[in-house]
Structure 1
Amino acid sequence: MPQTNPITASLETPVVLDGAMGTELEKRGIKTNDALWSANALLTDPDAIYDVHASYFRAGAEIAITDTYQANVAAFAKVGIEREAALDLIRLGVRLAQQAHDNVKPDGLVAGCVGPYGAYLADGSEYTGDYQLSPDEYEAFHTEKIQTLVDAGVDLLSVDTIPNFAEVQALTTILAQQPNLVPTWISLSIKDPYHLSDGTPLDVVTECLDHSQAVSGIGINCTSFANVLPALKLMRQVTQKPLVVYPNPGDIYDPATKTWTAVEHPQTFADVVPDWLAASVNIIGGCCRTTPADIEQIAKLLKK
């Protein structure tokens, strides 16, 4: 683990995050329109995952997020993969990012990706938060994966696309209980600039995360550009912790077909990143439908 907290260090110098994994895997012929989504590549083509990580590091990314968003024991069990083999696949996801880091950007970092329970449901629930579990059920779902990622040697944890306030609260408890926790951000799925996807006011969620000593940074991801700036301004009123942003360009996801429909993008990262920096964002990358070209654009802007 690095001697300094790289998330906190981003308060001094903004950091470039990578972009979409699933989008780039699709270009390489990987099937993603099922319950395993991009985790299919862990089973069928690990080299493609390495390739995507390497392409983002070459584009200027300083942090790679592992291809483990949809990779968890319960999801793999649905396709007949037993627990230990599933944990090995999660470890493989870490190893592939580490190999790209070693070969392409030795001073880069690897963030272990933890997706929401809604991603496991594979019905678009990560964009609605429309599910209810007890704290014990959230703990049973998340803890082993978090421990596996940390034990595999990730530098950070990227807890992504969390749409449900009860899950946010459960995750802060789970993270606080980890004996060897690495720096961690929790990134939220929002339905508009002022509310979590389940309708909880964003300032309430941000305040909860601000109070958690286990959370180093707070983010929003997989939302359109239009939501980012007002959400950042609201969050910055509540917290001085580093803010992380990795939006999608505004394309539309269909949870039934598990496919995206492209829409016209009136703005690029070059148009919006300067305003985000002025609003004190600290880590910037892309989520679904973004590409290495987008990350290169962000990297050039941040170098200025």
Structure 2
Amino acid sequence: MTKFSELLLQGPVILDGGLGSEIDKQHIAVANNLWSASALIQAPNLVRDIHQSYFNAGAQIAIVDTYQAHPQTFVDSGLSENEAYELIDLAVALARDGLKKSEKSLGIIAGSVGPYGAYLANGAEYTGDYDLSIQAYQAFHRQRIKRLVHNNVDILALETMPNFKEAQAIALLLQNEFPEVEAYLSFATEVGDHLWDGTRLAHAVAYFNQFEQIKAIGINCTAPDNILPAIMRIKPNTDKKVILYPNAGEVYNPETKRWVTNNEPINWRRLVPLWQHAGADIIGGCCRTSPEDIREIHDILQK
């Protein structure tokens, strides 16, 4: 039995929360093409400490700081290819160290695989406005996935995917070249009805239900108000676990690479029971959520 399956036997699973926003709070420059991966160079111990704080708050899954950490992104920033891969290794090691230093007896490490849109660093993960061939998507994602697998992450987090064809390319890549690896697939959605590229969420979920390696399907980095409508489209179309981790409801400005604060505090005590009742199995937070949010989710689920 895998560690992920073992976690699911314990009941609702809690994911961690925002990483880049927690790094930003410590005045590390993240408004650049590397975003949260900047801290792997500037302040790696901070990344470890944030992972530890999320585990201590009740999270059972840490998402490794590799969402933006594609080898080509580092090379474009002036590093060598060898240095790029070493930073991916470091990201995994920091998540593991955070788990070891925490109070958790059972936790797992998810290797983040962000979309091609994240590499573009222009907010395209919130528009899905790009189009490569299946082979080009696979060539792009193969390098990072291979390195994460080499580092023995417990599961791959295929997250914030706004583009159906890109998700299809990755699923086929895993099936053909990494058949032993488990993953979860989390889409980026505008309002909980369709992916940003226009694909209906219900259609996307039903299609990916056929892939045995994908153990959970859901959405992330969308406003909390979009979660319940999304569950209504996810749950009837899959027998996988349902994973959900909203952002804090703010709007991302791709030009300033900043989140615009325009939201009220999230009413987790109202929302989490609704999501769980509707079929959510794994719940956490994305951009601009904090360890305090994860602690509140943990306390609600414990009750």
Q: What does the per-residue CA deviation read over 1:210-264, in whole Å, with 9 as the maximum and x for residues that have no partner?
A: 1112211102000001110011011101112101001012111100100011113
After TM superposition, the structure 1 stretch with the greater mean CA deviation from structure 2, 147-156 or 113-122, is 147-156
Match of 1:168 in 2: 167
Q: CA deviation at 1:4?
A: 2.8
Tell me the alpha carbon deviations over residues 7-30 of structure 1, each in whole angstroms, 9 at most, x when there is no partner: 585276110100000010011111
Number of residue pairs aligned between Structure 1 and Structure 2: 302
Listed one character per residue, the Cα deviations across residues 24-81 of structure 1 (whole Å, up to 9, x for unaligned) are 0011111111110000001111011011101101111111000110001111111111
Counterpart residue identity of residue 19, structure 1: G
Give TM-score, length-normalised by structure 2. Answer: 0.96
In structure 2, list runs of 5 or more residues that go unmatched: none
1:241 has 2:247 as partner:
no
> Structure 1 pair 171/180, CA: closer, same or farther in 2 (3 Å)?
closer
Q: Give the AA of the match of 1:90.
A: I
**In 1, distance between residues paired with 2:80 and 2:207?**
36
44, 53, 65: which one aligns with 1:67: 65
Cα distance in 1 between the residues matched to 2:291 and 2:145 = 27
8 Å CA contact 2:44, 2:94 repeated in 1: yes
In the alignment, which residue of structure 1 is the partner of 2:207? 208
3-state DSSP of counterpart to 2:199: coil
**CA separation of 1:130/1:35 partners in 2, compared to 1, >3 Å: closer, same or farther?**
same
SS in 2 for 1:196: coil
Matches within 5 A, 1:253-264: 253-264=252-263
Distance 1:266 1:293 in 2: 12
Match of 2:93 in 1: 95
Q: Percent same amino acid among aligned pairs?
A: 43
Whether contact under 8 Å (1:220, 1:245) holds in the other structure is: yes
Letter in 1 for 2:203: V
1:12 and 1:201 mapped to 2: Cα distance? 32
Q: Output one character per residue of 1:92-149: Cα deviation in whole Å (capped at 9) or x when no partner.
A: 0000000111121241111111100000000000011100111111111101211111
In the alignment, which residue of structure 1 is the partner of 2:295?
A: 296
How far did residue 152 of structure 1 move? 0.6
Q: Distance in 1 between matches of 2:75 and 2:238?
A: 39
For structure 1, which runs of at least 5 residues remain unmatched after alignment?
Answer: none
Q: Hey, what does 2:282 align to over in structure 1?
A: 283
Matched, 1:153 2:155: no
The one-letter code matched in structure 2 to 1:274 is P
Partner of 2:17: 19
1:124 aligns with 123
Match of 1:186 in 2: 185
**Equivalent residue number for residue 219 of structure 1:** 218
Alpha-carbon contact 1:16-1:299 (below 8 Å) kept:
yes
Look up the match of 1:273: 272
